[in-house]
Structure 1
Amino acid sequence: MVDYDQETVETRIRQSFARQGAMETLGAELSSVSPGVVEIELSYDPKLTQQHGFLHAGVISAALDTACSYAAYTVTTPEVSLLTIEFKVNLMSPGRGERFLFRGEITKPGSNIIVADGRGYALTDGPAKLIASMTSTMMVIRGREGISG
């Protein structure tokens, strides 16, 4: 883990998230940033569903990948960037809900490879329902032209 200054790290992550065209297209919001944990929320939108009206697996995967990646940014130094090199998604329940929460949490920080686990939840009036999980591996990038945090 790096020395963690909440305000500096959160500002860096929020600025980077704001440049994410994919998350903007989905209407996703960065709702929480803390050491090793990031949460992203998304409202239900019929444009993001598959043929049965459930949140599409690709949308779920993209949001979990993003949450895991930004959780990894909380444990890196400002001059590095990250690229996802692998992930595994388990879809456990249909994506039915009014809102969705995607939480990425660091499992193993590292100087070259970082592993994170993600969980996706459907939010309604009742308790949150686990709809998906992800294990994600990110590669730390240093000094590569055109790739920055």
Structure 2
Amino acid sequence: MEPRNPDYARRVEEIFRKAAFVMDVGYELVSIHPGRVETRLTVAPRHLQQDDVIHMGVQATMADHTAGSAAGSLIAEDQMVLTTGFTMNLLQAAVGQELRCRAQVLRAGRTLSVVESEVYAVARGEEKLVSKATVTLAVLARKR
């Protein structure tokens, strides 16, 4: 997949920096490639639910924002993406010291993009797939 913006990596970094909630939770960019983005989160007690499992909301936000960043890597400078549909399957309890998310654009259309996000919990250096999301995003004119 070819990016429409030659400065796509800077744009994805900007998408991350400007999302106050995402920054507050603590997600970090790991890698940016056209149509693919990886993020990570160092898990803290505030990310856990009552049974010491990483909260589904933490996983969902990570999957959504990483997917948006992957889709954002392929759009033109004067465009933006906005989630219009989101389906997530929780595959097992998320337990670990870190979460990693890898998002891959499946289809980059003129008006819609479809992205798959996989979230992994890392415990003692071992990754386990804990959730998977399919995210549909509208490609819109960017408001200046």
**Is the structural similarity TM-score above 0.5?**
yes
Q: Which residue does the alignment assign to 2:137?
A: 138
> What is the RMSD computed on CA atoms of the aligned residues?
1.4
Structure 2: distance between partners of 1:19 and 1:88: 25
Structure 2: distance between partners of 1:11 and 1:53: 36
Is 1:14 aligned to residue 41 of structure 2?
no
Q: In the TM superposition, what is the alpha-carbon distance from 1:79 to its structure 2 partner?
A: 0.6
Deviations 1:76-133 (A, max 9, x none): 1111011100010000111101111011110011010000000000112243100000
Name stretches of at least 5 consecutive residues in structure 2 with no aligned partner: none
Alignment check: 8 A CA contact 1:4 1:35 kept: no
Q: Which residue does the alignment assign to 2:41?
A: 42
Q: Please list every run of at least 4 consecutive aligned residues from structure 1 whose deviation after the TM superposition is greater than 2 angstroms.
A: 1-5, 124-127
Structure 1: distance between partners of 2:26 and 2:120: 16
Q: Which residue does the alignment assign to 1:117?
A: 116
TM superposition score normalised by structure 1: 0.90
Structure 2: distance between partners of 1:141 and 1:10: 19
Q: What SS does structure 2 have at the residue aligned with 1:128?
A: strand
1:41 maps to a residue whose letter is R
Structure 1: distance between partners of 2:118 and 2:5: 24
1:2 maps to a residue whose letter is P
2:32 maps to a residue whose letter is V
Choose between structure 1 and 2: higher strand proportion: 2
Q: Which residue does the alignment assign to 1:89?
A: 88
Residues paired across the two proteins, number = 143
Name stretches of at least 5 consecutive residues in structure 1 with no aligned partner: none
TM superposition score normalised by structure 2: 0.93
2:50 maps to a residue whose letter is Q
